[in-house]
Chains A and B, each alone.
Chain A
Amino acid sequence: MNSTQDHGSLARDLIVYVAILVIAALQFVIAYQHIDGAQMFARMLALAMLEAGLGVLFFMHLWMETRGFLIFVAVFTLFVLAAMNYLWPDSFRILVGAPFSSYH
């Protein structure tokens, strides 16, 4: 049991905190860019995933856990989240009467 687990320095926590704040601020900037909705979504998703990754690894200290546990959490979570994405073509079908591939 690793109750005496090393949690890194406070300086590193502060750096991660500032990085997450900056990324969050970027999301607000992107919201006011005159870009296509799909592009805006893609940029916001990328930034949100970056923020979440920093949070999970350094705030939740997943980086300090055993490699086996890190891989277990990452693979299990990402698989479940990825498996939910089967529904998107159907949302385009409702909108335009055709699946995503025909829409473009």
Chain B
Amino acid sequence: MSHANVAVGAHSQELSEGSPFSIPTKKLVMWLFLISDAATFAACLMAYGFLRNATPDWPKPFQFLPTVVNAMVMTFILITSSLTMLIAIRAAKAGNKSKAFNWMLITAAGGIVFAILHIREWLGMIGEGATLFHNPWGTAIFGASFFSITGLHLLHVTGGVIALIVVGLRYRGGRYNADDIEILGLYWHFVDLVWMFVVPFVYLLNVAPTH
């Protein structure tokens, strides 16, 4: 065997080493994406916190009805959709394709209801005059930060719903397996986790004071 062959052999052996941390590569990539996405949301929330802290006339416009109740319902739906996703993953791991697919559709339905409630909330605020560049309750930056953060989250929910339907259909058709459902589940749970920070900081800290 020549030196060149030995070198190539060693190189290919190097390439075929196991995945870092002994987890599937696709799952590792999803985790890395989620870590970077967490940094994105954290940066948005920090920028919001900075602006809120540095603005003396920051408004607190959210009334119990409709905004806080709406946020409660949205939170319940999103957390429950995480549970239905877990049931879908469990069914997929057990090899029960139709059950897994059905629970994925239920999860997607939860995401759709969440998005509808969110858009209704937005339309209500827009109807009161709040936009990206204007806010009837005080500083304009309130509208910019509110719509930016909730919009970024809504974008993630919408992407998740599309992914749930597409991956679900391909899983049922045999192109994807249970591991793919689990990896998509990581994304869906992450969207749920982000909402757990958006609700207290963007909604609940801006609740209108009661006397």
Contacts and interface: CB of A to CB of B under 8 A. Distances in A.
Contacts of A24: 75-76, 79, 196, 199
Contact of A69 (B23, B80, B186, B207): B23
Classify chain A: how many residues form its interface, as a range: 35 or more
Contacts of A30: 204
Interface of B: 18-19, 21-24, 31, 35, 38-39, 42-43, 46, 49-51, 53-56, 68, 71-72, 75-76, 79-80, 82-83, 86-87, 89-90, 93, 178-179, 185-186, 189-190, 192-193, 196-197, 199-201, 204-205, 207, 210
A30 B201 CA distance: 12
B190 A60 contact: yes
Contacts of B24: 1-3
Interface in A1-56: 1-4, 7, 10, 13-14, 17, 20-21, 24, 27-28, 30-32, 37, 40-41, 44-45, 47-48, 51-52, 55-56
Contacts of A94: 54
B205 A41 contact: yes
A1 B178 CA distance: 14
Given A10-B90, A31-B207, A72-B21, A51 B196 contact: yes
Contacts of B22: 1-2, 66, 69
A25 B39 CA distance: 26
A101 to B, nearest CB: 15
B79 A21 contact: yes
A13 B18 CA distance: 30
A37 B80 CA distance: 30
Contact of A17 (B19, B31, B53, B82): B82
Among all A-B residue pairs, the 3 with the closest Cβ atoms: A69-B21, A44-B200, A94-B54
A28 B70 CA distance: 12
